[in-house]
Structure 1
């Protein structure tokens, strides 16, 4: 497969391979087609001479056509027609000479039109050669344009995903720095130092992972534990977290930092508004070819309309849906529901994928 890839990557190599293969095929087909005419070696020699002459005469056409493609369309058409006719005429003369001098041993036809009998056939053959040349060139040009368009689309797609991911960090960082500032003002230096250390580890994970790439869920859980430890410094015993992660799900690939904004949203709108605190349950399980993830809280609940939180005025949950759409197209589900007996539950369904080892 790599040999074919190298062949089509080089225009120079591709031209010579197709050029030689085309004229070899011409000689073979011509000989087979005229097999009943003559089977002597002298006839095969004449065919080989004609094929070699065609091979030689069409080489300059490549450079003429290359120059013509840079001209205006009308001028290009005129150049191609004239060049094809001249080459076909010269080739017809060469074929006549080979036929009369070598095969017929000096024979000369008496009728004047016999001198032009090979011209039409030569024009057809040179026209086919030219058509294949321009066809391949146009195909290569279209393929290059498609590759450039695909590359531009991919770059825009990746930039969009990165923008969505990195929009989340400033909001979390702002809240955490405020909490650290409060701890310092209260002279709780040990708690502030612990929070700074965990924040550093969490941000390192966040920045080291490309939003385009998927990471194992187990790795994502470790980052979430860091994040929740930071939040527990703020909320102390008011924040309770439950984990229910199936073991086979830890190797499943998920978009990096996909659950953190959901948990942040639950803390902001549920835990922080309850004097006695609350609980967040994080679950993950496999179901057929899908990975199902839930984040549920037991907070005061929210007004949910058409699967959307009416209270949501940030970018968190909206960005999650956009990221999933960009990464999985239609092969995902993202829903926001009422939790029972109270609270909000966010569900995510994505394909169950693991790294091939």
Structure 2
């Protein structure tokens, strides 16, 4: 829900709540006074006085609401605001008391003393103070809701901006290398290969831009993007780059953040394939284990030679791709994921990722 629609919804709720409480409050006030006068044995004429008092109070407090709205939007100092509210209450209490006195005089043809007027005014001040307190408490509650929503919107936008920044840091070297390879193909009159590489590059970039960083796609779609990327890289590395993908059928529709694996494979090419004279193999295994999606990415490169360098790599120098992948997972699955980087016994590096298994159709799966 956007901030504008939230505020509009809150305004409608506040408006509806005001009228419900306004009607219910004054009806309760009138019923209480009527029952009290009945218990004291007052005549039927006094019930008319109560009815006029309730209607007058209802209308006066609607006027008070309009005045309070003006005061709230005027950005007055706190002391001036309090004095203005107290003045409004006193004036409205005097008006209500004058109406009450006038009705009593008209019905009973008696003269009321100044003390009666003062007592009735104090009573009405007390009633209007309660009404004013309830009015500002409810408005403050809705104001807090709006501020909370603004804060949540700001945090969400910051997270989205951070995720976008992380995503769009991934491709500059790949793009430069690809353009250089295309240039080489053109210079050597390999126009068919250059055109094919351009087509794949265009498809990969379109996929990368259309799918937002916070968006989730299926493993099948992710693998399609990986093949676009790897087909481009195979033009550069030829037989030096070998691929071994093993995607379980029941894992193909699992959802993961878009282009989660591409920077890891880009990292493997940079550190495990490019430096090796004979190249190497990049393996990807994806399978489902009940409500967990398990992803294992391996290469046959030099790996991480020592524990000290492994710790350093985890924090600093494994390239932008691995660090950004960790940050994206932390943002999207806080406390609900696992990523482990280890050397393989047979040589090379392996990256293990465990995520909650979820699909577009069913949402998060439960244990079968």
TM-score (norm 2): 0.85
1:281/1:177 CA distance change after superposition, 3 Å: same
1:207 to 2:212 alignment: no
Alignment of 1:146-225 (within 5 A): 146-225=148-227
For structure 2, list consecutive stretches of 5 or more residues without a partner in the other structure: 363-368
Deviations 1:251-283 (A, max 9, x none): 221111110010111112112233333211111
Q: Which residue of 2 aligns with 1:21?
A: 24
Q: CA deviation at 1:6?
A: 4.9
SS at the partner of 1:270? Answer: helix
SS at the partner of 1:273? Answer: coil
Is the contact made by 2:14 and 2:142 (CA closer than 8 Å) also made in structure 1?
A: no
Separation (CA, whole Å) in 1 of partners of 2:167 and 2:77: 48
Q: Which residue of 2 aligns with 1:132?
A: 134
Deviations 1:105-138 (A, max 9, x none): 33445x6533333223211110011112222222
Q: Which of 206-215 and 159-168 deviates more?
A: 206-215
1:52 to 2:86 alignment: no
For structure 1, list consecutive stretches of 5 or more residues without a partner in the other structure: none
SS at the partner of 2:298? Answer: strand
SS at the partner of 1:345? Answer: strand
Separation (CA, whole Å) in 2 of partners of 1:136 and 1:309: 51
1:325 to 2:308 alignment: no
Separation (CA, whole Å) in 2 of partners of 1:77 and 1:163: 48
Q: CA deviation at 1:49?
A: 1.5
Q: Which residue of 1 aligns with 2:366?
A: none
Q: Which residue of 2 aligns with 1:264?
A: 266
SS at the partner of 2:23? Answer: helix
Is the contact made by 2:291 and 2:356 (CA closer than 8 Å) also made in structure 1?
A: yes
RMSD: 2.7
Deviations 1:72-95 (A, max 9, x none): 211111111111112112212323
Q: Which residue of 1 aligns with 2:350?
A: 345
Separation (CA, whole Å) in 1 of partners of 2:356 and 2:312: 21
Q: Which residue of 1 aligns with 2:365?
A: none
1:116/1:333 CA distance change after superposition, 3 Å: same
Separation (CA, whole Å) in 1 of partners of 2:176 and 2:79: 65
Deviations 1:160-181 (A, max 9, x none): 1111101112221112112222
Aligned residues: 351
Separation (CA, whole Å) in 2 of partners of 1:292 and 1:43: 79
